[in-house]
Chain A
Amino acid sequence: MQIELRDIRKTFGSVRANAGISLLIPPASIQGILGENGAGKSTLMKILSGFILPDSGDIIMDGSRVVIHSPADAIRRGVGMLHQDPLDFPPLKILDDFILGRRGAVFPDRRKAAREFRQLAAQFDFDLDSEAYVDTLTVGERQQLEILRLLWFGAGVLILDEPTTGISQPQKEKLFATLRKLADQGMTIIFVSHKLEDVELLCSRVAVFRQGELVGSAEPPYETKSLVRMMFSRDLAFTGRTSVPPGGPILSLRGVSLEALRLQIRDVSFEARAGEVIGLAGMEGSGQSVLLSACAGLAQPVSGRVRLGENDVTGLSYHAFMKRGVAYLPAARLEQGLVAGLSLADHFILSEGVGGIFIDRGRAQDLASDRIRTYNIKGAPSHQVESLSGGNQQRMLLALLKESLSLILLEHPTRGLDIESTLYIWSKLRERCAQGAAIVFISADLDEVLQYSDRVLVFFSGRVSPPLPAEGLSVEKLGGLIGGKGWDVLASAAVAHG
């Protein structure tokens, strides 16, 4: 299906999210949409998928002008969209979520649906059990489920909004192969991302957005420099690892074993020292999240001890960990970290306990504007958190962290963020380290792991490597370990050291 957008405009209050965008997307191709956070990519995609109506402008599909009134209307016309936060139903079974909204007889043929689900999943090599509950899935798996569902609902145009932010490297390769296959079959794919490498690897054409405008386009072979210039119209500086000599141990795990749904982790020992950054690398679902929740007191080890500083905290609750200066920032920002419906100022009131029983609105307002400025958040104290873009939500989470923390645990701290926000977030985290905090983080981005960690723990289906100094690792070596290669060498080296 060919899609033409003509002079699409959309403003939110004073923000011009789309300022007159015209774009022609031919069928059987992968159109990349590139731009930093807040550039207006998601807004345009929501317009195309019927989620919001444009203020003005036309959508022309295969030569005829259409008005897309609702997402259901869009999918009837064959336009399916995968949202940044998957719009699914966490308490339902996967199969129910899969069927929900599909038209048909009053009693859906569950067996047939399950069979078709399995076939689709197998085609993409997605490992999903149709009888499991959606809330047991990782964000990445929930995205997979949504992709399968959209295909099953008959999407001929597939819009993917930052899809690679949730999935592991091999899953990403699988996805890319599938998208190419679908494009070859005549499907129109719109791939929204702020990741240059993904776009360059996958897309047959790229349109670059900046501040609500289409500022340029490119075709392969891509020139990274010119794309970056279009995205930011400026150059960016890197802050890498700083070598602060690590202090005393803040977190130490001794022989910790954990058991999760389809996974067992045996006998993990490591220490995170003051000022140190530990990266947890591995495919999604290899055990990193479980280990990180154990460090936060959210998962309980079946054996082994967890210590915070001098204290044995094995078996204590998250609350007890929090009281000892541990902060945990999970991956699903809006679901676990921020409270939808509350304003930015409200969040600061909650986290700081401003003014005892009665809320001192004035002080809260000052505090909020102060933090918003320090953390460079694009939003006002009165805005609700869910109206912030992903990068700004992440900054908000950082801004909410208490002043004195000894241990910061992060899941995908920069997932879905553009380069500028990523650099900013890490500079802020580095400041925390300089103040004596230890950081343990999970990332699917190997470059990020190598660039910011002092030491790295690699996970491969429940196996955990000893802490490896990041200097001695290369992307190739780390990638191999994540994929299960090179572990025997690692084991013998550890024995030689030990």
Chain B
Amino acid sequence: MTLEIALVGLAGVLTSAAPILFGVIGETISERAGVTNLSMNGKILLCAMGGFAVALATRSILLGFLAGAAIGGLVALLLAFASITLRQSQVAVGFVLTLLCRDLSYFLGNPVMGTTGPSLSMLSIPFFQDIPVLGLLFFRQDVMTYLSFILVAAAWVFIFRTRPGLMLRGIGERPAAAYVRGANVNRLRYLYTVAGGAIAGLAGPIYSLSVKAGWKGTISGLDGIGWIVLAITIFGGWNPFRAAFGAYLFSLLQWLGLVLQPALPGVPSQVLQVAPFPLMILTLLFVNIGNAEWVERSLSRLPEPVRRRVARALRALKATPPAALGTPFTKE
């Protein structure tokens, strides 16, 4: 019985990680192309509100999600235009957009605030749902959670195994070299920024139509998540699987905070609420330790076979940002 409760809780962790995954994968794609989209925090709010309002008005959950993606893509398009075409700072434009989107979501969301609307229902997968343990964990979820699993794998395959994905990495690493190899760098950057924005935009309606159904304005509890998404993208080393690890870790820590609260009455509840953030950062720092120069230096003192094995493990963990991240491209 307690096992079942734990499993249901863990299944909930997977569900609540889904919107973070969409945000992180979207941002990863955009940053792989060399464009940092800092509008994430405001964008999630605006897409959540927009998706909810559309779903409420049309009574169609599907249209709600499409609206979220469309808003996300549109915000990204603004950023792409400002940074690629007008060559303005991505950081500055991103900050302005994030604030603008947040305020817009509160302002425009007033009419639908507090109304109950449609929400995504669970879609159990026949047969699979009856597998012990796994069925409860993985196969009694809603459709967006299933999609989030697929998204992570698909994004990884795309980035690391396909020809366009290889070019995507190329334009973010060394656009001049990618250009020489036939890439229309700026057009591809537009494409991936908007696509990444649309994918990240889906995070909004996943909240407002499923994880935290409804729109409650400033008390929706969504403000701040976008920043976590950006941090996980970086700590995830622009790799979908590592990013997924970060997203699940964060959701797990949040859930543990809730579960442990009754068991630890001495600890102020705020501590447990905030704990996931520093814990998260510590863990991810640890994962990224192979990046540090002093580690490399102390390694060279180890006996060669050991050093080689450790070095290879660290190289696999090592993450470097796309070298051209944030820099505009001109052909000479």
Contact = CB atoms under 8 A, between A and B. Distances in A.
Interface of A: 51-52, 70-72, 75, 87-92, 96, 99-108, 133, 259, 264, 299-300, 302, 315, 317
Interface of B: 161-164, 166-167, 169-170, 173-174, 176-183, 293, 297, 300-301, 304, 307, 315, 320, 323, 331-332
B177 A72 contact: no
Contacts of B167: 100-101
A280 B79 CA distance: 52
A104 B163 contact: yes
In the A-B complex, list the 6 residue pairs whose CB atoms are closest, starting with the nearest: A101-B181, A72-B182, A87-B177, A71-B180, A300-B300, A100-B166
Nearest to B177: A87
Given A106-B164, A107-B161, A317-B297, A92 B180 contact: no
A107 B300 contact: no
A52 B176 CA distance: 12
B182 A101 contact: yes
B32 to A, nearest CB: 12
Contacts of A70: 179, 182, 331
Chain B binding surface SS class: helix
A100, A299, A302 pick with most chain B CB within 10 angstroms: A100
Given A87-B180, A89-B177, A107 B323 contact: no
Contacts of B176: 87
A26 to B, nearest CB: 26
B301 A87 contact: no
7 contacts: A52-B332, A71-B179, A92-B173, A101-B181, A101-B183, A107-B163, A108-B162
A51 B179 CA distance: 9
Contacts of B307: 259
A104 B181 CA distance: 13
Contacts of A91: 173, 320, 323
A88 B180 CA distance: 10
Nearest to A260: B300
A108 B177 contact: no
Contacts of A96: 166, 169
Given A89-B170, A106-B164, 4 more contacts: A87-B180, A89-B173, A92-B170, A101-B183
B163 A51 contact: no
A51 B177 contact: no
Given A51-B180, A302-B301, A317-B297, A87 B174 contact: yes
Contacts of B323: 90-91
B179, B293, B307, B323 pick with most chain A CB within 10 angstroms: B179
Contacts of A102: 163, 181
B329 to A, nearest CB: 13
Contact of A100 (B161, B170, B297, B320): B170
Contact of A72 (B180, B293, B297): B180
A106 B163 contact: yes
Contact of A107 (B162, B169, B320): B162
Contacts of B169: 89, 92, 96, 100
B302 to A, nearest CB: 8
A445 B163 CA distance: 40
A107 B166 CA distance: 10
A208 B162 CA distance: 45
Contacts of A100: 166-167, 169-170, 178, 181
B174 A89 contact: yes
Contacts of A106: 162-164
Nearest to A297: B297
A350 B79 CA distance: 33
A72 B176 CA distance: 12
A107 B163 CA distance: 6
Nearest to A46: B332
B186 to A, nearest CB: 13
